[in-house]
Each structure stands twice: as structure tokens, then as C-alpha cells.
Amino acid sequence: MGEVAARKTKRGLTSGMCRLDYRRPENRAFYLVLFKHVIFLEKRGCPRTALEYCKLILSLDPENDPLCMLLLFDFLCLRCREYTTLIRLYEEWEVKNSTLSQVRDSDLSLSAKFTVLNLE
């Protein structure tokens, strides 16, 4: 029964359509476990996997971004050499809200990415 219900839902964690409110106490533990796992993966030398988990956390509540994953996102993109991913995020995010351009680190990392892409 549970397997059938899981197959029929279109809001799986990996689809990007699942939303969890951070303000609910039962969801905070899930957010914090994922965040600690991102930090653990980055320290263990797995920045690509950490970036994927960062994307997952960001997709759970993209409007509020309760754990400020955008601040970590550009660092992980630089570590993974995923330059086009951050450029695409920056362009799409600026259309919705202008908070990303106000973060100083995002401008620096974005300019570094454009420089590297032009050298290649």
C-alpha cells in the first residue's frame, strides 16, 4: 500500500517539487541532518556529493533558504568546477529576487567562473 502511494506521488525529494517548512519543529531535524552531512562530505573531500545535497536542501525551501545554502553553493560549485551551474542559478535567481546580487561573495565567484570559462 505504501509503495503504491509512494509511486503515485509526483512530489518526491529528487523532483525538486517537495517543500518542507523549516518553522515546523519536526522538519528542523531533517534540515540539520542534511546540513551536517553536507559539511561532513565537504571535509571528506567529496565536494560534488556535497553540492548535490546542497541543491536538495535549497530545493526544500527555496524562497526562504533557512540555512543560507546559497552562501555555501558558490563555494561548492568552485570546488567541483561546476561553473555553468552557478551561472545558471545566478541568472534564474535574479529574475525571481535580487538578493543574490547583494551577496558579495557571489559576485566574486561569478566573475571568477566567467574568467575560467573564457580561458577554456
* pLDDT band (50, 70, 90) for residue 31: very high
Q: What is the mean pLDDT of residues 81-109?
A: 67
Helix (H, G, I), strand (E, B) or coil at 5: helix
Cell 546559497: give the residue.
70
Q: How far is CA 29 from CA 24, 58, 63, 65, in A?
A: 10, 15, 19, 15
Comparing CA positions, the residue from 69, 81, 75, 66 lying closest to residue 37 is 69
Task: Please determine, for residue 68, whether its predicted confidence score (pLDDT) is greater than 90.
Answer: no
Q: DSSP class of residue 63? A: T
In angstroms, the CA 76 to CA 39 distance is 11
The pTM score is 0.73
Q: What is the mean pLDDT of residues 78-100?
A: 74
Structurally, the chain folds into a number of domains equal to 1
Lowest mean pLDDT among 13-17, 58-62, 112-116: 112-116
Query: In 10 A of CB 17, how many CB atoms?
Result: 11
Domain of 72 in residue numbering reads as 2-119
